[in-house]
Amino acid sequence: MGLLRDRVGALLSGSGRDAPPVRKSRIQGLRKRWLISSLGPIFVVALLVAGTFCVVMVNYYYNMMLDGLKTRAAHASDYFTSNTMSSYGEFYQNAYSFAAEFSERDRMELQFIGSTGEIIVSSYGLTAGMDPGTPDIQAVFQSRTVEPYRGVDPNTGEYIMSVCVPLQLDDQVVGAMRYVTSMAAVQRQLLFTVAAAAGLLAVVTLLVYVSSMVFINNVVEPVAEVTETAKRIAAGSYGAQMENDYQDEIGQLIDAINNMSTQISKSEKIKSEFISSVSHELRTPLTAINGWGETLLNNTDPQQLKRGVDIILREAHRLTNMVEELLDFSKMEDGRFTLRIEQVDVQAELEDTIYTYMELFRQEDIDLHYDSWDEIVPTIPADPERLKQVFCNVLDNAAKHGGAGKRIDAAITCGERGIVITVRDHGPGVPEAELPFVKQKFYKGSSKARGSGIGLAVCEEIVLRHEGTFEIGNAEGGGCVVTITLPVA
């Protein structure tokens, strides 16, 4: 008994009692992974875009200023050398007047550099006689080309940009004209631009973070609820349900969990009922066998001995049938249920079963009436032992559930649908509400008849494997009718 109960429990298990619980850290890990995988790349891309923008803006401002200074210096040097500098002496005199009339002294400084590299004239007037100390001064006298400079002024420590243009007289560089401007305003503008880009990056990152958190919470919270419900189901709260306020994939997941919980609850109930029913079914014949065995042990009455042996054989036969049904069900669940196909005369197999049961039913005052087919029923590829098992089970059920009608009708016909076998009893029939479930495993409904509740399920499986149909319904005038259809190749 203990082994059988364990076997049945194993067949029906699947409720997840031993499943490991889903830890809360997994939910938190889901939030962390989502933030890293979604926010991380967006932040990196935004940072690259902002950095590239800042570099482009810096180069744009610097190049624009440098081009402006170069253009101004080139025009001024051309004008100075062609119109005011006809001799070496005029260079110094005209430089003073040119610097004094310089109108953009508030934006930049105009310097005239002597051949020794010192400032001889300045529009500011304070730097005259000083050495600028920047590499563009020496370079302009050597290369005789326009030389730009951007960096720190060694004298003032200020960040500057300058353009130095050579002044030539009779093919000799007698000095240089130099435009110098402070980069403080440009740096402030660039700092503002970088700050704006950084602020925009922060705003974008914040928006992405907030939207990601909203989305994550909309996903993680339902997942956490599903996790808790799944843990409750795994702990034994079969039938637990969740409210579903979602219309998306989360809603479909919740519906699936709710349906799973309901099905597990039904399976547990059916398993409990089945174990109780099978225990009762096994206990009854075993009690009869044990009781009569003890009675016959010291009894020598021939009549009593015959009666006891008959009862023991009948109960042993019932136990054998029940164990065979359980074994067949086990094979169905494990995928080991197979057929041994050969050419079979279905009518002959049915008639053998009918004639076997006629005498048995006569002893129980049940009239078994059989209508054979007048024409030849073609043979079909089938498993004769399995078909006979179906016929025996159907006749047993007809006597068990409809024996009160004292009549069972069996018939076989052959037509376009194939070979059709019907077995009808004249008992009370099956309640309409129970008809859709009578072929389900372990279902017994309101019937008080003895049995395991898996015989009809095994019969349907056998017929389906023969590519046929197995139907149960109520007949007109009362009683239940079973219709078996087998295709003819």
Distances (CA, A) of 313 to 310, 319, 370, 395: 5, 10, 28, 20
Query: Among candidates 149, 190, 174, which has minimal Cα distance to 60?
Result: 190
Give the C-alpha separation, 109 to 314, whole Å.
Answer: 125
| From-to residues of CATH 3.30.565.10 in the chain | 338-486
Each residue of 148-169: pLDDT tens digit?
998 888 888 888 899 998 888 7
Give the C-alpha separation, 434 to 426, whole Å.
Answer: 18
Q: How many residues does the chain have?
A: 489
H or E, element range at 487: none
pLDDT of residue 86 exceeding 70 = no
- Cβ contact 467:383 at 8 Å: no
Give the C-alpha separation, 95 to 85, whole Å.
Answer: 9
Give the C-alpha separation, 364 to 319, whole Å.
Answer: 20
| From-to residues of CATH 1.10.287 in the chain | 249-316
Highest mean pLDDT among 307-316, 366-375, 436-445: 366-375
The fold of 338-486 is: Heat Shock Protein 90 (3.30.565)
Residue 221 backbone phi and psi in degrees, to 5? -60, -50
The tokens for 432 are 């309409």
Each residue of 219-233: pLDDT tens digit?
777 777 788 888 888
**With a threshold of 0.85, does the pTM exceed it?**
no
**In the structure, what pLDDT confidence band is assigned to residue 10 with cuts at 50, 70 and 90?**
very low
Question: DSSP alpha helices (H): ranges in 335-429?
Answer: 346-363, 384-402
**In the structure, what pLDDT confidence band is assigned to residue 411 with cuts at 50, 70 and 90?**
very high
**In the structure, what pLDDT confidence band is assigned to residue 8 with cuts at 50, 70 and 90?**
very low
pLDDT value for 448: 56
Q: What CATH architecture does domain 249-316 belong to?
A: Orthogonal Bundle (1.10)
Query: Among candidates 389, 372, 377, 375, which has minimal Cα distance to 343?
Result: 377
Question: Would you call 156 helix, strand, or coil by DSSP?
Answer: coil
Could you tell me how far CA 149 lies from the centroid of its own chain? 62
**In the structure, what pLDDT confidence band is assigned to residue 88 with cuts at 50, 70 and 90?**
low
Q: Give 121's contacts (C-beta < 8 A, 6+ positions apart).
A: 92, 95, 96, 98, 99, 111, 112, 128
Question: Strand 147-152 vs strand 119-122: parallel, antiparallel, or unpaired?
Answer: unpaired
Each residue of 354-386: pLDDT tens digit?
988 888 888 888 899 999 888 888 999 999 988
Give the C-alpha separation, 404 to 429, whole Å.
Answer: 11
Query: Among candidates 416, 410, 470, which has minimal Cα distance to 438?
Result: 470
- Cβ contact 54:199 at 8 Å: no
Question: Would you call 128 helix, strand, or coil by DSSP?
Answer: coil
